[in-house]
A and B are shown apart, each in its own frame.
Chain A
Amino acid sequence: MVNQLLFLYCAGVITAMGLLAVNFKNPVYSVLSVMVLFFHVAGLYLLLNAEFLAAIQIIVYAGAILVLYLFVLFLVSLRKEVKIERFIASHKISTLVSLALGGCLLAVIPSFKLGAKGQYPVARVEQLTHTKAMGLELYSNYILPFEIAGLILLIAVIGGLVLARNEKEVKE
């Protein structure tokens, strides 16, 4: 019962904050409401016994990615933004398309059937602790994707450096 109330609270806040983020005129308010949304997604992960992912969600998403967004927002012109139109000209069609997508996605949910159970029931994960269980799984079955993830991060670092470099200053 308490869990259901918590879920409903998180779900309500997530939906409301998502809608607010899309509709706010000021992009800084959008980023801040997405931050609240990410905190509540972390709450959902806690409800699902995924403590490590909840911590990662707060540290990486709310802590790093959104701060990056805020920095870039302050680098580009913000003063003009609050005065001009925020939606593209054909936004009515887009609203219809996304409503239809949401309706389709909701309509197919009842036909979903769970597959075979895996090897990590909640009791075992709790006994191992979630971080250790995830580490065991990550370093035994997903070692190649893990290396590729490292490579992707390296590419992101190099790409970010190359893109943000000012060519004119380099020539001088």
Chain B
Amino acid sequence: MIPLSWYMALAAILFSIGTYGFLVRRNIIIMFLCMELMLNAVNINLVAMSHYLDSLAGHNFVFFIITVAAAEAAIGLGLVIVLFRNKKTIYVDHINELKG
């Protein structure tokens, strides 16, 4: 039997890797990818907890999270394409129109 804390530790590590990638990378597509990593960390936690709690609530939440992730990827990548078409860059530090 695998202890629940192992799953939670893995999810915490994966979440912080996602945060790290989101904060350090310049490429906006890789930033979106790191967001998927964070969502997956949460999914691991939800599935593990609902397995140890004899419940299916977490499984259903994961189902909805995957739906929202798909929608987010479609809209986010559409925004990236528009951004690249208008500004010819996908680097977040080149997008500084609002900077005074």
Contacts and interface: CB of A to CB of B under 8 A. Distances in A.
B68 A91 contact: no
Contact of B56 (A30, A64, A134): A134
Given A15-B17, A50-B59, A53-B59, A149 B53 contact: no
A138 B67 CA distance: 14
Contacts of A85: 26
A15 B13 contact: yes
Interface of B: 1-2, 4-10, 12-21, 23-27, 29-30, 32-34, 36-37, 40, 43-44, 47-57, 59-60, 62-64, 66-75, 77-82, 84-85, 90, 92-93
Given A22-B34, A65-B36, A114 B43 contact: no
* Prevailing SS type, chain B contact patch: helix
Contact of B74 (A94, A105, A157): A157
Given A88-B24, A137-B60, 7 more contacts: A19-B17, A48-B7, A76-B90, A89-B93, A117-B55, A159-B78, A163-B75
Contacts of B32: 69
Contact of A134 (B6, B8, B63, B71): B63
Contacts of A98: 16-17, 19-20, 23
Contacts of B56: 118, 120, 125, 133-134, 137
* Prevailing SS type, chain A contact patch: helix
5 contacts: A37-B37, A77-B90, A88-B92, A101-B19, A102-B15
A65 B21 contact: no
